[in-house]
A and B are shown apart, each in its own frame.
Chain A
């Protein structure tokens, strides 16, 4: 999911930087309005929490492991705007210190994983959980929001890759950036996330939300914002 440098053309990464910058500007304003001054360190903590979640590997069939992006669980726990700030910060630190994701691709990575994914996950969670107070329904909503949001973000990444041969090729038709067109990039990104990483993201979201629900449901933002849950 982390796009490295060299895969996206300036025609793609510059507009995505713009969209990301606008989203962060709005997110910072929204979060400042929503939380008090004392909660600025809270967002730092959310970012560190997001970073750490990305480090938790889960065993998957075939003897390998996968890790969650964590955007879904952060959006459900902290709210989507806080997730925009938190996951962006985590991704920027990853790109700068660990070389995970490119410098020119920070805008695209943050747009996919820190803007698109948290909002998708948050509203999917609300859609699937709020009509019922049953815990089973909430667990299902947690899994499906994590799963679908990652798969959709992966498809979006696939589209960003797939349009490169269309918008940035040399005069003799050679690809200058990502050489895979839409019919290769989109299925490649979608299939591995539908079959593998989406399930990991869904499971991580489910495991964490279930634990919070059992121990301190009041900490979950999605429930503070009008959700209801039966206490058994």
Chain B
């Protein structure tokens, strides 16, 4: 009996090709890019949603939060005692509980960031090759000490007490900095928050660019996702590496052109609302007694952390 199945259904599926064999590549890295963009957008959504809630921390004046963000970042950066850093971690964790954020989700994000930059990158510093000291756990033992280029390699290589202290301190410092920054960001609407930058003399023009960029990123991420999946839905078979490069160039060029259209539309919208080239951002938030109390409590806590 004659086979009546259409040829496109018999053809080997795109995913079953082995790119290594035919020297062609799949678009998995583009998928990753698109997924990253989507994650970024979701992250912004998450932030916008949480920051809009009525809650004790969410209601604090953004200017106070901005002052506290800078203050606590400096405090965390100058506290050199790991035990005090643990106390700061507890303080920040308590603030997350008060803010009623999804602690599991937020700390998952925090630990993901901190694991790479605050642990993996710094882990070799716990070895005596980097931080000399008493070895508490031996890893390798050579016959004799040696010299390689400009590096001295000791006979025994292992973790030292001093090294572990250095790694602990930096890990906790990175953890606390990221956790506090995300606490402020997740409890404050970003467009309101950036207006607080005026307090340290950031020009209005720069803040307006910052505010516009924030909105454009959101729009562009969605545009990229939509156009990419529209492109992929029409794709059959795999694609040459050279075509991938052309595709990336084309996508970025498309983004650029799309951005230009958005910017021209934005400009016309601004002109229709009275924009005449002078950028002035107005901030309407006033300090309340609660803001002052929070400011005083955290400033005193910071001083205590430094003195401990």
Contacts and interface: CB of A to CB of B under 8 A. Distances in A.
B177 A6 contact: yes
Nearest to B190: A97
Contact of A211 (B132, B206, B253): B253
Interface centre among A41, A44, A93 (most CB of B within 10 A): A41
Contacts of B101: none
Given A58-B29, A99-B178, A44 B208 contact: yes
Interface centre among B151, B173, B260, B275 (most CB of A within 10 A): B173
A36 B277 CA distance: 8
Contact of B205 (A36, A40, A172): A40
Interface string B165-191: 110011001100110011001000010
Contacts of A98: 40, 43
Interface residues of A, number: 70
Contacts of B110: 99
A203 to B, nearest CB: 8
Interface in B242-279: 245-246, 248-253, 255-256, 259-260, 262-263, 266-267, 270-271, 275-279
B125 A180 contact: yes
A225 interface: no
B214 interface: yes
Contacts of A86: 209, 213
A41 B203 CA distance: 15
Contacts of B36: 55, 57
Contacts of B206: 24, 28, 85, 89
A196 interface: no
A52 B227 CA distance: 14
Interface centre among A5, A10, A89 (most CB of B within 10 A): A5
A41 B263 contact: yes
B73 interface: yes
Contact of A208 (B165, B249, B259): B249
A210 B250 CA distance: 10
A96 interface: yes
Interface residues of B, number: 84
B29 A40 contact: no
A215 B73 CA distance: 46
B32 interface: yes
B249 A211 contact: yes
B131 A37 contact: no
A4 B174 contact: yes
Contacts of B278: 37
Contacts of A184: 130
From DSSP, what is the main secondary structure of chain A's interface residues? helix
A159 interface: no
Contacts of B190: 96-97
B63 to A, nearest CB: 15
B210 A55 contact: no
A216 B145 CA distance: 61
Contacts of A42: 260, 263
A47 B216 contact: yes
B211 to A, nearest CB: 8
A104 B270 CA distance: 34
Contacts of A131: none
A28 to B, nearest CB: 5
B212 A44 contact: yes
A231 interface: no
A45 B212 contact: yes
B76 A97 contact: no
A203 B252 CA distance: 13
Interface of B: 25, 29-30, 32-33, 36-37, 40, 43-44, 47, 69-70, 73-74, 76-78, 80, 109-110, 113, 117-118, 122, 125, 130-132, 150-151, 162, 165-166, 169-170, 173-174, 177-178, 181-182, 185, 190, 193, 203, 205-206, 208-217, 220-221, 224, 245-246, 248-253, 255-256, 259-260, 262-263, 266-267, 270-271, 275-279
9 contacts: A37-B275, A40-B267, A44-B209, A59-B29, A102-B181, A175-B125, A183-B151, A208-B252, A219-B256
Of all A-B residue pairs in the complex, the 5 with the closest CB atoms, nearest first, are: A44-B212, A37-B277, A5-B177, A48-B216, A6-B173
